[in-house]
Amino acid sequence: MENTIKWKQMFNGDFKKYLDFVVSLKTKLEKLDLSKLPEDKKEALCKRYEKLFSLSCDLLGEYLSYNGIFAGDKSQIIKFAFNTELIDDGQKWINLFFLFNRFKKEGYEKSGKFILLHLNADYITLFENLNNYFEKECKQIN
């Protein structure tokens, strides 16, 4: 019962907040010329995406654990989530994993521009799909 509450709390808490922010940027990003955005705003954007990715992996990990599947790091969580059909595009999730590992290791100065080039609507859709999945799960449990 406690695990149920934990993944639901994660989903309805920080995950939703960060997802709402990123989704609100979806149409803006398609029209936005990132080269004109101040560096501090670009860095903040990268950090928001990284936080949403991290929250997504934590949410998936808790949900897998609730269902008796114990995964260690984020790459294992992505693998198990894909194998159990929690997520559809395992390769895109792995790509995000590598992008944000690079961001954490190198910092914004070295990898931020690379990340901003690769973060597009396709990746936002991954988070939206995850949201849709957990919306359905929450309704089934209630």
State pLDDT tens for residues 85-96: 999 999 999 999
pTM assigned to the model: 0.87
| Number of domains making up the chain | 1
| Domain limits for position 39 | 2-141
- Provide the CATH number for the domain around residue 110: 1.20.120
pLDDT at 4: 52
Query: Within 13 Å of residue 3, how many CA atoms lie on the same side as its CB?
Result: 12
Region 123-139: mean pLDDT is 90
Q: How many CB atoms lie within 10 A of CB 84?
A: 13
Q: Are 139 and 120 in contact (CB under 8 A)?
A: no
What sign does the CA torsion over 39, 19, 7, 57 have?
A: negative
